[in-house]
Amino acid sequence: MKQICAVHAAGKPEVRLYVADSFWERLRGLLGTRQLPARTGLLLKHCNSIHMFFMHYGIDVVYVDKHFRIVKLVQNLRPWQISGCLKAVHTIEVPVGTIAAMGWKLQEPLFL
């Protein structure tokens, strides 16, 4: 995976995103990791649903449309759960607490 972008919010620190844009990178996602470091995340391009099977920790999930406007927020998705959003084009996985810390809201655009 490659790091190519950062999400910015007014007055908040940036969140650096690794990008999974191939089928295999999206399929693997965060599997096999023990934690997601603070202020980092994974952008799953062209993906509108995720699973937490075999994960060891929870995450916050941000679903965005083609303009990177937030269409759904899921806080503290736990291992063995699934989540999706039909309106989403891309999915961003970040550490638990990031949504609240960044103050992200529905329909807010993320700046990459």
pLDDT digits (tens, 9 = 90+) for 8-57: 666 778 888 888 887 667 767 776 678 888 888 999 999 999 999 999 99
The CATH number linked to 22 is 2.60.120.1140
Structural domain contains residue 88: yes
Is 110 within a domain? no
Provide the pLDDT for residue 79: 95
37 is a domain residue: yes
pLDDT at 27 (0 to 100): 66
Question: Considering the chain, what is the average pLDDT of its residues?
Answer: 87
CA 89, 20, 82 angle in degrees (round to 5)?
60
Residue 65 lies in a domain: yes
How far is 50 from 9, CA to CA, in rounded Å? 24
Residue 19 belongs to some domain of the structure: yes
Give the range of the structural domain holding residue 55, as residue numbers without chain letter. 2-102
